[in-house]
Amino acid sequence: MGMTLTQKILAVHAQKDHVNPGDLINARIDVALGNDITAPIAIERFNESGAKTVFDKDRVVLVPDHFVPNKDIKSAMQAKILREFAHKHQLTYFYDAGEMGVEHALLPEKGLVLPGDLVIGADSHTCTYGGLGAFATGVGSTDLAAAMVTGEVWLKVPESIKFVFKGELSLWVEAKDLILYTIGKIGVDGALYQAMEFTGPVIEKMGIAGRMTMANMAIEAGAKNGIFAPDAVTEAYVKDRAVRNYVFYESDPDAEYAKIYEFDCSNIEPQVAFPHLPENVRGLSDVGEVLIDQVVIGSCTNGRIEDMRVAAQVIKGHKVAKGIRLIIIPATPYVYRTALQEGLFEIFLDAGAVISPPTCGPCLGGHMGILAKGERAVATTNRNFVGRMGHPESEVYLASPSVAAACAVLGKIGGPDQLQ
């Protein structure tokens, strides 16, 4: 029996000819990632271990991105712990101040995560890098500490589910809509500790930004990882960025899947996930009208330059509805600078938006847009759990950048004039 893409990557990193779902393996890692929330705990455990230095200063990456610019004394101390550790161990890739971006957008830009890699991060959305054809998954801070010492991780090989996307995308339907639709169909535990492998003609035409958006939200279906077979699109993205060699893997024709889903994208319209789970999905035509208070366009899911462009396309020539707060958060300095150079900031500012420096900020209820009791927000983020962006009696609705931008102009979700 052949192996899936996920199995092949794990087999190589475990130095085995073949692995099966359910096998327990020790695998070498290519990148270990931590941020300003999770890495301080890992660093404490690292120090307790007695280790003198990290296994490879080129493979441990630290990015303080959740509470930056620091919002208070505690967050400043968290960032300081990372800064001092990076200096002590001479880490090659520590991103601070003007270099810092949202980690899962920044690392692909910098060529630090690559096809065929095994990447772990003490952040659940590390699965983003599956968009490049890597096996990438989130781990706990203690696991990160162990990996920083040994360069290895202990894993159970997951089963794979194949998702085949056919047909043609309708106007304004984006990668975010496809992953929301998928989660709506299978549920937040529909891929529990399994690999979500995304394939089909629609995927083959999709750019890397869209692929990373879909891989990013694999965890919202309970998946261990999301993954795309690397191809010419991937090669075009990584060839001038890569800091080291990379390998393309693909699933064998006789690879075994736990399930196979096929979706006709011609029948998929823009999607909105209602509170308080990403599976609570409705097509835009079934939303009715929901009045809102705030719109956030950014995050590791949809803060890339492609997302900024589509949001600006919708907003151009319009004003943000009275009483609506529109917050634009470019995910990295590159996205920020490019949006500025392309005139996108002028469009956003003319409309009445606020532009933030790169940060995770409001996505996790950190800062830069926290919700008060009773407020509703449309966000291009990945989670809408109770209290995710602020008060436990606030509400978060997940949508694509185009839908979110339209909501900012209309002051509501839904209605006959949405995206017309």
Beta bridge partners of 412: 291
Q: CA 366 to CA 348: how far, in whole Å?
A: 23
Is the omega angle on the peptide bond into residue 69 within 30 degrees of 0, that is, cis? yes
Q: What is the pTM of this model?
A: 0.93
Contact status, residue 161 vs residue 21, Cβ threshold 8 Å: no
**Strand stretches in 225-293, DSSP E:** 225-228, 259-264, 271-273, 281-283, 289-291
**What 3-state DSSP class applies to 206?**
coil
Looking at residue 382, its amino acid is N
Average pLDDT value for residue range 317-335: 97
Q: What residue segments make up the domains of the chain, in order of their start?
A: 5-262, 272-414
Average pLDDT value for residue range 36-41: 95
Contact status, residue 153 vs residue 27, Cβ threshold 8 Å: yes
DSSP assigned state of 269: P
Residue 94 CA to its chain's centroid (Å): 20
CA torsion through residues 92, 98, 99, 103, sign: positive
Give the architecture (CATH level 2) of 272-414: 2-Layer Sandwich (3.30)
pLDDT of residue 1: 82
Contact status, residue 331 vs residue 102, Cβ threshold 8 Å: yes
pLDDT of residue 51: 93
How does pLDDT run across 56-111, given as a tens digit for each residue?
999 999 999 999 888 999 999 999 999 999 999 999 999 998 999 999 999 999 99
CA distances from 168 to 18, 33, 132, 284 (A): 37, 36, 23, 18
Domains 5-262 and 272-414 share a fold: yes
Average pLDDT value for residue range 383-401: 94
Taking the CA atoms of the chain, what radius of gyration do you get in angstroms? 20
Q: Which tokens in the block code for residue 374?
A: 């009773």
Tokens 């532009």 correspond to: 355
Q: CA 82 to CA 34: how far, in whole Å?
A: 9
Burial degree of 130 (CB within 10 A; 0-12, 13-18, 19+): buried
- Identify which of 337, 348, 342, 334 has the alpha carbon closest to the alpha carbon of residue 401: 348
CA distances from 344 to 250, 261, 381 (A): 38, 38, 20
Phi-psi region of 418 (alpha: psi -120 to 50; beta: other; left: phi over 0): beta
Q: At what angle do helices 39-49 and 141-150 cross, to 10 degrees?
A: 50
Q: Which tokens in the block code for residue 313?
A: 């396309």
Tell me the CATH number of domain 5-262, given options 3.40.50.300, 3.30.70.360, 3.40.50.20, 3.30.499.10: 3.30.499.10
- Which strand (E) or helix (H) includes residue 13? helix 5-13
Per-chain mean pLDDT for the chain: 95
How does pLDDT run across 266-312, given as a tens digit for each residue?
999 999 999 999 999 999 988 889 999 999 999 999 999 999 999 99
Looking at residue 41, its amino acid is I
DSSP assigned state of 293: S
Phi-psi region of 90 (alpha: psi -120 to 50; beta: other; left: phi over 0): left
Strands 271-273 and 281-283: antiparallel
Q: Which tokens in the block code for residue 366?
A: 């950190």
How does pLDDT run across 216-242, given as a tens digit for each residue?
999 999 999 999 999 999 999 999 999
Q: CA 4 to CA 21: how far, in whole Å?
A: 10
Q: Which tokens in the block code for residue 148?
A: 């920083």
How does pLDDT run across 192-205, given as a tens digit for each residue?
999 999 999 999 99
pLDDT band (50, 70, 90) for residue 156: very high
Tokens 């960032």 correspond to: 79
pLDDT at residue 417 tops 80: no
